[in-house]
Chains A and B, each alone.
Chain A
């Protein structure tokens, strides 16, 4: 997973209904890019049946020391 390019960001923002120009898209790409890179090792690797709600189950699970 790589950071989105300014061109891709312009398109995504447009689809989201909040158009931005290329200059802003470049800034956004630099700003959020490291988050994409940091998450790259996880993206695309998660088991099929893992749901966001698994977090709540884990939160209340008993910890065995």
Chain B
């Protein structure tokens, strides 16, 4: 059986179904065939719902035959991180504690994709309660990187990164509180969009830190991310932090040129202590962007270590507060590392937490002033390519937090400032591991990042590489 439809981009397959070049049933079968091949190696899915998906695909095809089109994703099969509430479905949040939790509502982001006609393939693995950047899960096992099984996927959206990279789903929702979309995008070689805080409703998405949580997609291309953002962005009466800022035409943005755009390269922090291969790929990425017409300039950013620290203080307290009841009643049901990190929040005084929140506006103002002359900033998504599962599976051992902080030090400042960031596949190490770069933009200016990302992907083919079936 050909699995070729499963290799298409989200945008291309959605068009092919709408134009009746492919049926939803054919596409869904191709994805399920690939899932059956890869799942034993990857552990990317939490639940595979083959029968229901095929039935929904048949219904989508029947509707299309009658001229009824639900929306831009009519008949497109998708799977998402298992933390998006879907009424009537078990949503584990990657945890033992919520192993049998049945959602009573559907998250706004998911509902908007459903309303556009998407079909559910199942749910995707994740770090327990989205609190871990590696992809390990003490209860359900590590998710594997399709480019190299011994290496980590990154997390917390581990299943989303792995499944999109292996082309088991055309795209997947992830969430990003400290890098949880960009880490797996970087380590698995896919495109991931961390949106501006407030750009997409968080209603019905499992909370980790109400000040930092964002909902966003992982997909093959910037264009695919644009399509999903277009459908999800905008205000929501169920989430008053969802902004009513105008939603621009993101798809149009992906067709624009980057000629004349100014992209800043930080002079420190993001270029310090880089793995030599990451440094090489950063230089190569800059060269491509320059060739495509962007103006590359140096930028002096404020002290990023302070932003990292502030984000840690905010996240630790808010996560501990969400989990307090279970910390009292069911501490034995957490994995050791997640329990340790939740307990961190108990050690931070209220005054310190509030200082970290009070500083946020001033810190953003300083960043805006430092980057006023550029349209975006480019940095590696992480200082290193994927470490192995063995070397990073350290539970609550002394030094665990230091390992976590090293992996996420380039992503956390963006969450603290609430800025948008697009992670794009930018190259491979000599051993074949993907490396991603992140483009950091201005608040609510995802469009410029998508313009740059799409231009880079027109000039390169890193995003189109597919790992070989084992």
Chain A residues within 8 Å of B, Cβ to Cβ:
1, 4, 8-9, 12-13, 16-18, 20, 24-25, 27-32, 34-39, 41-44, 46, 50-61, 63-65
Q: In the bound complex, do residue A46 and residue B358 qualify as a contact, i.e. CB atoms below 8 Å apart?
A: yes
Residue from the list B347, B373, B405 in contact with A4, Cβ < 8 A: B347
| 16 additional A-B residue pairs with CB within 8 Å, beyond A35-B313, A39-B355, A65-B373 | A18-B324, A18-B327, A27-B343, A31-B401, A32-B347, A34-B401, A39-B309, A41-B306, A42-B355, A50-B362, A52-B357, A54-B360, A55-B357, A55-B361, A58-B365, A61-B365
* In contact, B324 and A52 (Cβ under 8 angstroms): no
* Residue pair A51, B398 in contact (C-beta under 8 Å): no
Residues in chain B near residue A64, CB distance under 8 A = 372
Per the 8 Å Cβ criterion, residues 312-332 of B in contact with A are 312-313, 316, 320, 324, 327-328
Candidates B309, B316, B373, B405; contact of A37 at CB < 8 Å: B309
Give Cα distance in the complex from A60 to B364, angstroms.
11
CA distance A12 to B316 in the complex (A): 14
Q: Pick the most buried of B198, B243, B355: most chain A CB atoms within 10 A of its CB.
A: B355
**Are the CB atoms of A28 and B362 closer together than 8 Å?**
no
Between A and B, 23 residue pairs with Cβ closer than 8 Å are A8-B347, A12-B346, A16-B346, A17-B324, A20-B343, A31-B340, A31-B401, A32-B312, A32-B401, A35-B308, A35-B312, A36-B313, A38-B310, A39-B306, A42-B355, A54-B360, A54-B361, A55-B357, A55-B360, A55-B361, A55-B418, A59-B443, A63-B442
Interface assignment of B349: CB less than 8 Å from any CB of chain A: yes
Q: CB distance A52 to B344 under 8 Å?
A: no
In terms of DSSP, what is the predominant structure of the interface of chain A? Answer: helix
Q: Are B309 and A34 in contact (CB under 8 A)?
A: yes
**What is B's interface to A at a CB cutoff of 8 Å?**
196-198, 243, 245, 303, 305-306, 308-310, 312-313, 316, 320, 324, 327-328, 340-341, 343-344, 346-349, 352, 354-362, 364-365, 368, 372-373, 396, 398, 400-402, 405, 418, 442-444
Contact between chains at B361 and A39 (CB < 8 Å): no
**What's the nearest-Cβ distance from chain B to residue A42, in Å?**
5
- Provide the residues of chain B in CB contact with A61, threshold 8 Å: 365, 368
Q: A19 to B340, alpha carbons, bound, how many Å?
A: 13
**Are A9 and B346 in contact (CB-based, < 8 A)?**
yes
Q: Which of A27, A55, A65: most chain B CB closer than 10 A? A: A55
Tell me which residues across on chain B come within 8 A of A13, comparing CB atoms: 343, 346-347
Question: How far, in Å, is B442 (CB) from chain A's closest CB?
Answer: 6
B367 to chain A: closest residue by CB: A58
Q: How far is the CB of A1 from chain B (nearest CB, A)?
A: 7
Which residues of B have CB within 8 Å of A16? Answer: 324, 346
Which partner residue on chain B sits nearest A56 by CB separation? Answer: B361
Whether B328 contacts A38 by the Cβ 8 Å rule is no
Chain B residues within an 8 Å CB radius of A59: 196-198, 364, 418, 443-444
- Residues of A near B305 (CB, < 8 A) are 38
Q: Which 5 pairs of residues, A with B, have the shortest CB-CB distance?
A: A38-B309, A54-B361, A35-B312, A55-B361, A31-B401
Residues of A within 8 A of B368 (CB): 58, 61, 63
Known: A1-B352, A58-B368, A61-B368. A42 touches B306 (CB 8 A): yes
Pairwise interchain contact B328-A12, C-beta atoms closer than 8 A: no
For residue A43, give the distance in angstroms from its CB to the closest CB of chain B: 6
- Taken together as a complex, chains A and B put the C-alpha atoms of A20 and B343 apart, in Å, by 8
Closest-CB distance, A61 to chain B (whole angstroms)? 7
**Please, how many angstroms separate the alpha-carbon atoms of A1 and B352 in the complex?**
9
The interface centre, meaning the residue of A16, A17, A29 with most chain B CB atoms within 10 A of its CB, is A16
From A9, A18, A36, contact of B328 by CB (8 A):
A18
Taken together as a complex, chains A and B put the C-alpha atoms of A51 and B360 apart, in Å, by 9
Q: Please, how many angstroms separate the alpha-carbon atoms of A36 and B352 in the complex?
A: 9
A55, B356: Cα distance in complex, Å? 11
Known contacts A27-B398, A35-B313, A38-B305; decide if A18 and B355 are in contact (CB<8 Å): no
CA distance A51 to B320 in the complex (A): 23
In the bound complex, how far is the Cα of B347 from the Cα of A34, in angstroms? 13
Interface centre among B308, B312, B402 (most CB of A within 10 A): B312
Chain B CB within 10 Å — which of A30, A36, A42, A65 has the most? Answer: A42
- Contact (A46, B398) CB under 8 Å given A12-B346, A59-B443: no
List of B residues within 8 angstroms of A57 by Cβ: 361
- Give the residue of A38, A55, A65 whose beta carbon is less than 8 angstroms from that of B364: A55
Candidates B362, B402, B418; contact of A54 at CB < 8 Å: B362
Partner of B361, one of A4, A35, A36, A58: A58
* A30 to B405 Cα, complex, angstroms: 13
A52 proximity list for chain B (CB < 8 A): 354, 357-358, 360-361
